[in-house]
Amino acid sequence: MNTKICKIFKDSIAEELGIEIGDKIISINGNQIKDIIDYRFLMADEYVEVEIEKSDKELWILEIEKDYDEKLGIEFEDAIMDDARSCSNKCIFCFIDQLPKGMRKSLYFKDDDSRLSFLQGNFVTLTNMKDDDIDRIIRYRISPINISVHTTNGELRKKMLNNRFAGDIYDNLRKLASAGIQMNCQIVSCPGVNNGEELVNTIGDLYKLHPYIENVAVVPVGVTMHREGLFPLKLYNKQLATEEIKNVRKLQDIYEGEINEPFVRLSDEFYITSGMEIPEDDFYRGFKQLEDGIGMIRFFRDTIKKDLDKLNKYSTGSFTMVTGVSAYEEILMASKSIMGSNPNIHISVEKTINKVFGETITVAGLLTGKDIIDNLREKQLGEFIIIPKNMLRSGEKVFLDDITLDKMESELGKEVLVCDYTGEDLIDIINSNCKEEQIWQNQ
């Protein structure tokens, strides 16, 4: 296990006791720690004995008295201390199987690790977990956990995940719920496979475990042009998306009457494809499912409206906003609102077609650096280019295809600004990169 320490926080217990970067934690209260979950569980006490191996191999035993939930003040070199568990499924809708060659290596790793679900919000299928693993989640109170359900029909789930162990999902969900573990569930909906009546049945089954299943997110299957030899999947069209929204709305109306919230929500792509209006902000109850693409458009639209009065009315500048096909109209509408509030600001919106994955992939977060550069190279650009943060690797300045932000700026000769694409962040970026010009009026 990699328990090497890579960071010591200032004024922490670790700093006070002389723990240093490069030291390793061997055990806590005589228990060897297998991963970060062990570490957090064992440290949650008012008295702990921590065995440390110094970089010169000297062993220290530190007796620590602290508040129950007080942290040691360290970070480990590896977040989970060992190799992440890879996925043993062969899902018919797996996006990784549809990746072209030449993307960054980390994209080809199929993660299915409950520890990363707890630590980073990743969704897991539970198919590679034994009874002991489920018991460990319960014993250590690993909660909440994000679970990819897809269907509660055991036989159908075996086929969808191509895994003979995938059929016991509902038994595991019930076991976790009975132990008080909070869960968020996701369904990738594939037309002709687990949608329609199957989807309604699955949502109904999951609702029986509320409030331990807090919410359910339904997202449409993504299909790239790289599916040679894979299961033939259909895409949602206007008719299918409309039918799905209406079917799910019947359930949402029932749940609203019983628990005062819709419980299940469809991603924005369903509404865009159907042409139906996005629900109002109250429907999303604090926008907890933004990472699933649920409520992003409503959140963006409302925050633009709310923060527009913060726009500097005495500034001038020009910007090019980059987005994908699905969000183009929304970004265009926002740009018009900003320019209407200050005519001295000019914003062009560039819709980028996904050539690497194929035109069926329309979300901005899956655009590559190459496609963006190729699209913008011959265009009349503003002084600055604005891109959404979800195009880049988390915490870094690298696109899906390993093209860096620096390379894009070099290729296009423009500074690229990274934005959350919330109204507040966008207005702040525009204000920060405009030139202020005092407008004098005749008295």
**Which residue ranges form the domains of the chain, and what is each CATH number?**
5-76 (2.30.42.10), 96-294 (3.80.30.10), 301-436 (3.40.50)
Q: What is the model's pLDDT at position 436?
A: 76
Amino acid, res. 1: M
Distances in Å between the alpha carbon of 392 and those of 54, 295, 311, 389, 416?
37, 21, 26, 6, 12
Which parts of the chain sit beneath pLDDT 50?
84, 108-121, 439-443
Q: Which residues in 257-282 are b (16+ Cβ under 10 Å) and which e?
A: eeeebbbbbbbbbbbbbbeeebbeee
Which segments of 253-392 are extended strands (E)? Answer: 264-266, 315-323, 345-351, 384-388
Q: What is the model's pLDDT at position 384?
A: 97
Q: What is the model's pLDDT at position 137?
A: 82
Q: What's the burial of 437, exposed, middle or buried (CB within 10 Å: 0-12/13-18/19+)?
A: exposed
Q: What is the model's pLDDT at position 438?
A: 52
Q: Which residues contact 110 (CB under 8 A, 6 or more apart)?
A: 86, 87, 89, 94, 96
Q: Which residues contact 402 (CB under 8 A, 6 or more apart)?
A: 103, 104, 369
Q: What is the model's pLDDT at position 128?
A: 73
Q: What is the model's pLDDT at position 316?
A: 95
Placement of tokens 């906003």 in the chain: 321
Q: Outline where 219-362 has alpha helix (H).
A: 238-259, 268-274, 296-307, 328-341
Q: What is the model's pLDDT at position 119?
A: 45
Q: What's the burial of 425, exposed, middle or buried (CB within 10 Å: 0-12/13-18/19+)?
A: middle
Nearest residue to 278 via CA among 267, 288, 262, 289: 267
What would the pLDDT profile of 208-224 be if each residue is shown by its tens digit?
A: 999 999 999 999 999 98
Report how far residue 53's alpha carbon sits from residue 51's, in angstroms, rounded to the nearest whole number: 7
Report how far residue 50's alpha carbon sits from residue 60's, in angstroms, rounded to the nearest whole number: 8
Nearest residue to 89 via CA among 147, 166, 154: 166
131-139 and 169-178 helices, crossing angle to 10°: 20
Pairing of the two strands 47-53 and 59-65: antiparallel
- Cα 367 to chain centroid distance, Å, stands at 16
Rg (the chain; Cα; Å)? 25
Distances in Å between the alpha carbon of 184 and those of 98, 143, 312, 340?
26, 10, 41, 41
Q: What is the model's pLDDT at position 437?
A: 65
Q: What is the model's pLDDT at position 407?
A: 96
Record the tokens describing residue 242, joined without a space.
């409309």
HSE at residue 182, side-chain half, CA atoms within 13 A, is: 6
Q: Which residues in 169-181 are b (16+ Cβ under 10 Å) and which e?
A: bbebbebbbeeeb
Nearest residue to 199 via CA among 219, 176, 228: 219
Report how far residue 345's alpha carbon sits from residue 335's, in angstroms, rounded to the nearest whole number: 10
The pTM of this model reads 0.80
